Amino acid sequence: MHNQQQNQHFQSSSQMPAEISHGGHELFDAHEAIGGLVAGMEQYLFYEQHIQDPELKTILNKQKAYLTQVYNSLVETLKTGQEPAVKVQTYNFSQPSNNTIYGMQPSQPKKPAQSLNEINDECISGFMMGCLKSCASAFTLAALESTNPVMRRVFADSIPNIIEMAYEIFLYQNKHHYYQVPQLKQEDMQNYINAFQPIQNQMPH
């Protein structure tokens, strides 16, 4: 009798309307992730008026437009449980080169800005990077907790694009020496690179 009641419960659950086919953990993490995205978009709005470099302003506006579409797709999926009208698009960054400048150059020690006049493009590009890293982490957690397959897919498909946006910011920062990349000594680097070896091909059993 108990098993029969359980089966009836499972049947009724699977026949729920699409808009309520979300688990509790999924909703908590989706709200956290979408709320973080909203905060990031609002921060972009604030940063825009303080940017000096037209190139950084162009990147910000392109990213803001993309994030707006991601936001709309997530909200639609959250409300309907169904495929959004606009699927996740591929984000193509606008940096002309993806060459990284390696090595450290001497620079003055940094300290927190004490007035708004000290907030510059180096600060703003760092803030943008922080927003994107936070979103990528929150989206990953939300995707892993999503029981609705469409919700999971929209979060999961957005993550590589947010990573691409963060890479775009990194390239901008690196080009302007805001984000320097130290390297290990050649010998140490080779030791790390050669620390693993592939498994030899084995015939399937």
Determine the pLDDT at residue 95.
Answer: 66
Determine the pLDDT at residue 12.
Answer: 41
Contact 100, 175 (CB under 8 A): no
Cα 202 to the center of its chain, rounded Å: 37
User: Which whole-number Å values give the CA distances from 112 to 60, 115, 118, in the listed order?
Assistant: 23, 9, 9
For the chain, list residues with pLDDT below 50.
2, 5-14
By CB atoms closer than 10 A (0-12, 13-18, 19+), residue 145 is buried
Q: Which CATH number fits domain 23-95+119-193: 2.60.40.10, 2.70.150.10, 1.25.40.10, 1.20.1260.10?
A: 1.20.1260.10
Contact 151, 77 (CB under 8 A): yes
Determine the pLDDT at residue 17.
Answer: 55
Domain boundaries, the chain: 23-95+119-193
